Amino acid sequence: MTTQPMTTQPITIATLTAAEAEAALDQLADILVNAVAHGASVNFLAGFTAEEARRFWRGQLPGIAAGERILIVAADGAQLVGTVIVSFAPQPNAPHRAEIGKMLVHSAYRRRGLGARLLAAAEAAARDAGRSLLMLDTQSGSDGERLYRRCGWTKVGEIPDHSLTPNGRLAPTSLYYKKV
């Protein structure tokens, strides 16, 4: 699917229920496929298909329905153009902790503040749920790393050769946290 930016309406940020996410599986898949195709290191490799992406998002639905994670999206009208997941730590000794993941903005919508808005919404949702310590990892030197630094996250360190980029090159990952 081709996602073309529209300029006539403001982009909204919203939380999706599991049912809403299920109804939007194709759009969510499109955002994830687009990210991998543009080189983002988000667990998948080049050649990642829409069907594989739908399978990933389908796998998130039970956790969303159970309140174990929150899916926040950016939308241009009815078109989803960005995502972020807040996953609550399940451990009994970590009721204050959550992880941020799948922080994605469709390539046609980048560099206009949507990443920062999605991240702020994720932080607020975590805080509202009583999760005051947030963690994430991101490929060192990526657009994501600049976003987290700009939004006040603290770098803990870097793991060399942590993951393969989509085109199969080992790259380092940086670990971040933020108290919200």
Ligand X SMILES: CC(C)(COP(=O)(O)OP(=O)(O)OC[C@H]1O[C@@H](n2cnc3c(N)ncnc32)[C@H](O)[C@@H]1OP(=O)(O)O)[C@@H](O)C(=O)NCCC(=O)NCCS
Binding site for ligand X (CB under 6 A): 35, 40, 42, 103-105, 110-116, 138, 142-144, 146-147, 150
Residue nearest ligand X (C-beta atom): 115
- CA separation for the pair 85, 68 (Å, rounded): 10
Shortest distance in whole angstroms from residue 97 CB to ligand X? 17
Would you say 9 or 93 has its CB closer to ligand X?
9
Q: Which two tokens stand for residue 91?
A: 């451990």
DSSP letter string, 135-168? EEEEETTSHHHHHHHHTT-EEEEEEEEEEE-TTS
Would you say 65 or 163 has its CB closer to ligand X?
163
Shortest distance in whole angstroms from residue 44 CB to ligand X? 11
Shortest distance in whole angstroms from residue 179 CB to ligand X? 19
Would you say 106 or 131 has its CB closer to ligand X?
106
Shortest distance in whole angstroms from residue 19 CB to ligand X? 25
Would you say 19 or 146 has its CB closer to ligand X?
146
DSSP letter string, 44-105? --TT--HHHHHHHHHHHHHHHHTTSEEEEEEEETTEEEEEEEEEE--STT-TTEEEEEEEEE
Amino acid identity for residue 102 in this structure: K
